[in-house]
């Protein structure tokens, strides 16, 4: 976390009628951090973002953005935020430049300041050659860039992005993720997603949301390390059948599971925390007359972390 704090959320709770969408959620985001909200659809992520952007107030709890209370200083808070909603509100019959001009004027910009902000946003988002094109003629990836450009117009200290790569093809997803990562450092970025690779590739820290509550928060690699109870060893072996290797290694005291990977001759060996198991595995393979090509430490993937944390069935919650 940065030395200074951009977002402080304390005990946020939000009810829709009698149904709780968010319950007792608290977190901090430091200046310059890129933090991911990760959770299944319906977990409460969008509700939290709507409260942060002053679109709605929490039923109970407090939010401070850059030290400002969102209840009492809502307009000042909004000036500090650039927001990209999941469905980007674009005017298809306007050109990119005219849409950004309109968006900037809505944010209170005008004259030379508006022109400067538009040019800067167009350059950051790679829209220079598309500035005169009508939005309806743009690809989904370019439309997402236009949405991001409008979020950047008031040079916000905080960017809040809700499912920014939804509906994009693989090449566009890579493009947008790279753009988002490049915006970090000077700006604080809060990114909501249900896509696991998004978090590990873009975010420095992840907050896992499930059923309106925070299940866990940490750096992706720390989450994996904490939840991995024993050792995970990846080995690559030549000279034996898969079932032979599995049977032999499973006979070793401390080995709990041996799984074959897609790549021929590669296995994951799960064992207890005793580091002495690895020399034993190596010795067993060599003494069996097989060729040990590689042995390395392995970590849980973010997907495995997520599945382990979110084990119960999904509730029917609004997001």
Please report the pLDDT score of residue 281 as a whole number: 92
What is the pLDDT, as a whole number, of residue 60?
95
Place of tokens 């944390």: 309
- CA dist 57 and 40 (Å) reads 23
Residue 308 pLDDT: 65
DSSP reduced 3-state for 120? helix
Residue 134 is predicted with a pLDDT of 96
* Structure confidence at residue 51 (pLDDT): 95
Q: What is the reported pLDDT for 272?
A: 82
Whole-angstrom Cα distance, residue 19 to residue 4? 35
> Would you state the pLDDT for residue 130?
95
pLDDT in tens, the chain (319 residues): 445 899 999 999 999 999 999 999 999 999 999 999 888 778 888 899 999 999 999 999 999 999 999 999 999 999 999 999 988 889 999 999 999 999 999 999 999 999 999 999 999 898 999 999 999 999 988 999 999 999 999 889 999 999 888 888 888 888 888 888 888 777 899 998 887 778 878 888 999 888 899 988 888 777 766 666 678 888 999 887 888 889 999 999 889 889 888 777 889 898 887 878 899 999 999 999 999 988 888 766 666 666 666 654 444 444 4
Q: Which fold has domain 5-225?
A: Rossmann fold (3.40.50)
Q: Report the 10 Å Cβ neighbour count for 112.
A: 8
Give, in degrees to the nearest 5, the angle at Cα 286 between 247 and 294.
90
229-298 shares the fold of 5-225: no
CATH number of the structural domain 229-298: 3.30.70.100
Q: How many CA atoms within 13 Å lie on the side-chain side of 105?
A: 7
Domain segments of the chain as ranges: 5-225, 229-298
Query: Beta-carbon neighbour count of residue 72 at 10 Å?
Result: 8
């Amino acid at each position: 976390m940065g030395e200074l704090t951009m977002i402080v959320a304390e005990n946020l709770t939000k009810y829709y009628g009698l149904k709780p969408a968010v319950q007792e959620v608290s977190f901090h985001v430091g200046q310059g951090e890129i933090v991911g909200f990760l959770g299944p659809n319906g977990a409460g992520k969008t509700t939290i973002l709507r409260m942060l952007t002053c679109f709605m107030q929490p039923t109970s709890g407090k939010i401070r953005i850059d030290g400002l209370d969102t209840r009492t200083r809502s307009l000042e808070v909004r000036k500090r935020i650039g927001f990209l909603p999941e469905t980007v509100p674009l005017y298809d019959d306007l050109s990119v430049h005219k849409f950004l001009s309109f968006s900037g004027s809505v944010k209170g910009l005008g004259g030379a300041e508006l022109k400067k902000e538009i040019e800067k946003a167009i350059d950051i988002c790679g829209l220079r050659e598309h500035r005169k094109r009508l939005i309806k003629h743009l690809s989904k990836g370019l439309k997402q860039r236009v949405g991001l450009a409008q979020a950047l117009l008031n040079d916000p200290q905080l960017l809040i992005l809700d499912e920014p790569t939804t509906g994009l093809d693989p090449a566009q997803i890579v493009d947008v993720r790279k753009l988002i990562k490049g915006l970090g450092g000077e700006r604080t970025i809060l990114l909501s997603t249900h896509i696991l690779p998004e978090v590990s590739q873009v975010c420095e820290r992840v907050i896992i949301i499930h059923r309106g509550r925070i299940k866990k928060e940490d750096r992706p690699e720390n989450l994996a390390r904490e939840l991995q109870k024993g050792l995970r060893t990846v080995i690559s072996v030549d000279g034996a059948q898969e079932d032979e290797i599995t049977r032999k290694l499973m006979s070793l005291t401390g080995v709990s599971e041996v799984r074959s990977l897609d790549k021929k001759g590669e296995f994951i060996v799960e064992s207890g925390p005793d580091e002495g198991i690895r020399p034993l595995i190596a010795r067993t393979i060599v003494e069996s007359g097989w060729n040990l090509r590689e042995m390395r430490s392995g970590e849980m993937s973010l997907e495995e972390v997520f599945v382990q944390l979110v084990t119960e069935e999904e509730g029917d919650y609004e997001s």
